Chains A and B, each alone.
Chain A
Amino acid sequence: MLIDYFLMAVNSIRHRKLRSWLTLIGIVIGVAAIISLITVSRSLESTIESQFEQFGANRIIVSPRGFQGPGTSSEGLTVKDVETIEKIPGFEYVVPGIFLSTEVSYRKEAGFTLVSGIPAENFEEFFVDSGVKLQQGRFIKEGDKFGAVVGSRVVEDMFRDKLRLGSKIEIKGQEFKIVGVLKEIGNSQDDNQINILLDTAREIFSKPDDVDAIIAQVKYAGDIPLLQEKIEKDLERKRDDTNFQVVTATQILEQINQVLGIMQFVLVGIAAISLVVGAIGIMNSMYTSVLERTRDIGIMKAIGARNSDILKIFLVESGLIGLVGGIFGVLFGSAMALIIGQFSKSAGFTLIVKIEPLILIFGLLFAFAVGIISGILPAYQASKLKPVDALRYE
């Protein structure tokens, strides 16, 4: 019998085309918003996760607490802290790094970007373990005092004239020669970074002892929690303060995911409001439909339709409106997510948008359920009409 109700619903929806389309739009917008937001934020999560996997889960990062900015206070990290950590066994290497946002110029044109200093002895390892590869040239070796390895966007976009291997850029009045260009990493900060030797950076930035971050590469992943604790304890004892933080890649990832989770919750909540509005639209349309078809209901009851038949006829109809809205919503939502992915690429962050079938199916079922629920009250009202009253209605 459900097939009959389905056919009747199709008929009735086609019978009032314009109104059906208007009703649909409400649901389409709601579903599209929810699907695109969920898809984008889940893609964001997995993109960040995969970047972290590259970054290496085997790292412990030590940085000044609260991130006061590079070299702002004596409470920051110093070479002494690096020594403290180096004394702990279990690390492959410990890399101190300094970072400074500064002016960089090329052929009299100035740019502004982050310059990092990394020790010569670990320079190559540091990048290789991060999963970052060279696009051209080579890494800096000991003795390359004024060599620079730059991110892909430094070469492409930073200056009017494109840079090449061997191009000379100027940092703090000192000329550097580009010896290597990194492959695109996918986020604009890393791709705009210029890497030079730590000793050179100390010299030109006049930071003889400061360290902005210490990256410790662990030999065995299983040791991470233990080593993290050990670093904390030793640094606290030596420094006699707690103005530093020791985090692992996994912890950072967890924090980011937490923030993303909250963001997703809020955004989907907002999108859900538009779906509620859509649901009210269906309800309104169904009430009108019941009113318009009061005589039909009377006739159907006279020729043997039970209350439950009338109820089902209208529920199938509102469910169908929801489902059709869901289909369009899922299509538009997916398209929107893909477009957002394209935009992000041109904005400097490579977001890999993945369309997940399960989420699409969920969207469809959800829209169907919204349709049915919106139809309950009107359908119930229709089913309770007395045949005489319905037949007399004009």
Chain B
Amino acid sequence: MTTLIKLEDVHKIYKLDSTEVPALNGISLSINKGDFVALIGPSGSGKSTAMNLVGCLDLASKGEIYLKEHNIKHLSESDLAQIRGKQIGFIFQVFNLVPSLTALENVALPMAFQNVPRGIRLKRARELLEQVGLSDRMKHLPSQLSGGQIQRVAIARALINDPEIILADEPTGNLDTKTGDEIMKLLYDLNRKGKTIILVTHNPDLTKLANKIIRLKDGKLVGS
């Protein structure tokens, strides 16, 4: 089994004024290709910090993080951005989309940063929006979409560069149960098709679909 992401004794310490606040205290974990990982913990557990590190959005204060063969601390910010764009698809809880762009343009945006020609981008974005059932909402602005539709657009966007990893941060946090279930089903289907899913949540119900559960408390792992 291929290891996609590996954390080795990772610490993250935030500096607030002169005091140091530890958020993560030496966690080690690995995520393999095809996993459906649930990262769960109450607020303040270091869950968001862990997600940021796993998603290469932030660097560790101590310890090593590997994304495939790359040790991310040796990468420049631009390289990191490019790797994020290619390898990881992000779905956030709120404010997922760029408000001044249409659904179609939002979906196509990650490809723009990979210098893919506009025609190809828009064609692929259209296909993906059709797959998530939004073929009639392509020209709509995010403000004209419902919460569930926004999350579908975000999923389509996460898929456009065909990344191996989908990182979803409380993707159902703002949705009603029914819509939330639909989104979870989409994620589950993606996992079945071979995508590695990392789901960050505080809701234990959502961990049922996962094959691997990582529990965090006070910046430490508490059994998986």
Chain A positions within 8 Å of B, measured between CB atoms, are 1, 3-4, 7-8, 11-12, 14-15, 295-296, 299-309, 386-388, 391
User: What's the Cα separation between A303 and B77 when bound, in Å?
Assistant: 13
Chain A residue, CB-CB nearest to B117: A1
CB pair A4–B118 under 8 Å, yes or no, is: yes
Whether the Cβ atoms of B100 and A11 lie closer than 8 Å is yes
Contact of A299 with B118 in the complex, beta carbons under 8 Å: no
Q: A304 and B114: CB pair below 8 A?
A: yes
From residue A380, how far is it (CB to closest CB) to chain B in Å?
14
Residues from chain A with Cβ under 8 Å of B220 in the complex: none
Q: Which of A1, A14, A15, A304 is the one whose CB lies under 8 Å from B82?
A: A304
> Which of chain B's residues have a CB closer than 8 A to the CB of A304?
81-82, 84-86, 110, 113-114, 161
Q: Are B84 and A303 in contact (CB under 8 A)?
A: yes
A296 to B100, CA, bound (A): 10
B131 to chain A, nearest CB (A): 18
Inside 8 A of B90's CB, which chain A residues have their CB? 299, 302-303
User: Are A305 and B57 in contact (CB-based, < 8 A)?
Assistant: no
What 7 new A-B contacts, CB under 8 Å, besides A299-B90, A299-B96? A1-B112, A8-B101, A301-B81, A303-B110, A303-B113, A386-B58, A388-B52
A308 touching B109 by the CB < 8 A rule?
no
Q: Is B41 an interface residue (CB 8 A)?
A: no
Q: Which residues of A contact B78 (CB under 8 A)?
A: 306-308
B99 partner, pick from A3, A14, A296, beta carbons under 8 A: A296
B98 at the interface (CB under 8 A from A): yes
A387 CB contacts on chain B under 8 angstroms = 57-58
Query: Across the interface, do B118 and A303 meet the contact criterion of CB distance under 8 Å?
Result: no
Q: Which of B55, B82, B101 contacts A11 (CB 8 A)?
A: B101
**In this assembly, does B97 line the interface, its C-beta being within 8 Å of a C-beta of chain A?**
yes
Which residue of B55, B77, B161 is within 8 Å of A302 (Cβ)? Answer: B55
B47 CB–A CB distance under 8 Å: no
Docked-complex contact B77 and A306, CB < 8 angstroms: yes
Task: Contact check, A391 vs B92: say whether CB atoms are below 8 A apart.
Answer: yes
Q: How far, in Å, is B142 (CB) from chain A's closest CB?
A: 11
Chain A CB within 10 Å, residue with most, of B95, B99, B112: B112
Chain B residues whose C-beta falls within 8 Å of the C-beta of A12 in the assembled complex: 100
Q: Is the CB of B118 within 8 A of A302?
A: no
Closest 8 pairs (CB-CB, A-B): A304-B85, A304-B113, A11-B100, A306-B78, A303-B110, A388-B58, A387-B57, A306-B81
Given contacts A299-B95, A304-B84, A307-B77, contact A4 B100 (CB under 8 A): no
CB neighbours (8 Å) of A295 from chain B are: 95
The CA-CA distance from A299 to B99 in the complex, in Å, is 11
Residues of B within 8 A of A306 (CB): 77-78, 81-82, 113
Q: Is B115 an interface residue (CB 8 A)?
A: yes
Of the A-B pairs whose beta carbons lie under 8 Å apart in the complex, a sample of 6, sorted by A's number, is: A299-B92, A299-B95, A300-B113, A301-B84, A303-B90, A305-B81
B157 sits at the interface (CB 8 A): yes
A11 CB contacts on chain B under 8 angstroms: 100-101
Q: What is the predominant secondary structure among interface residues of chain A facing chain B?
A: helix
CA distance A63 to B29 in the complex (A): 100
Residues of A with C-beta under 8 A to B89: 303
Inter-chain contacts of A1 with B (CB < 8 A): 112, 115
A47 to B16 alpha-carbon distance, docked (Å): 70
> Known interface pairs A295-B95, A388-B58. Does A305 touch B113 (Cβ–Cβ under 8 Å)?
yes
Q: Cβ of A386: which chain B residues have Cβ within 8 Å of it?
A: 58
Measured between beta carbons, the chain A residues less than 8 angstroms from B84 are 301-304
Also in contact, A303 and B57, with CB within 8 A (given A3-B118, A8-B100, A309-B113): no
Please report the C-alpha to C-alpha distance between residue A386 and residue B80 in the assembled complex, in whole angstroms: 12
Q: Are B115 and A303 in contact (CB under 8 A)?
A: no
How long is the Cα–Cα vector from A388 to B81 in the complex, in angstroms?
12
Q: Which residues of B contact A391 (CB under 8 A)?
A: 57, 92
Question: Which of chain A's residues has its CB closest to B121's CB?
Answer: A4
Instruction: Give the CA-CA distance A305 to B92 in the complex, in Å.
Output: 16
Of listed B55, B86, B109, B115, residue having the most chain A CB within 10 A:
B109
Residue-by-residue, is B26-54 near A (CB-CB < 8 Å gives 1, otherwise 0)? Answer: 00000000000000000000000000100
Across the interface, which residues of A come within 8 angstroms of B97, CB to CB? 299
Residues of chain A with a CB closer than 8 A to B86's CB: 304
- Closest CB-CB distance, B85 to chain A, in whole Å? 2
What is the minimal beta-carbon distance from B163 to any residue of chain A, in angstroms? 10
Residues in chain A near residue B105, CB distance under 8 A: 7
Bound CA–CA A295/B85 (angstroms) = 17
B118 partner residues in chain A, CB cutoff 8 A: 3-4
Chain B residues contacting A15 (CB-CB under 8 Å) are 99-100
Compute how far the CA of A194 lies from the CA of B33 in the bound complex, rounded to whole angstroms.
Answer: 103
In the bound complex, what is the Cα–Cα distance between A306 and B161 (angstroms)?
A: 16
**Nearest residue, chain B, Cβ from A390:** B57
Q: Which of A8, A304, A387, A391 has the most CB of B within 10 A?
A: A304
- The CA-CA distance from A251 to B223 in the complex, in Å, is 97
User: Which residue of B82, B98, B114 contacts A296 across the interface (Cβ within 8 Å)?
Assistant: B98
User: In the assembly, what is the distance between CA of A184 and CA of B77, in Å?
Assistant: 73
A303 close to B55 (CB less than 8 A)? no
Q: How many angstroms from the CA of A305 to the CA of B78 in the assembled complex?
A: 8
- CA gap between A296 and B142 in the complex, in Å: 13
| B96 contacts across to A, CB distance below 8 A | 299
Contacts of A3 in B (CB 8 A): 118
- Give the distance in Å from the alpha carbon of A295 to the alpha carbon of B98 in the complex: 9
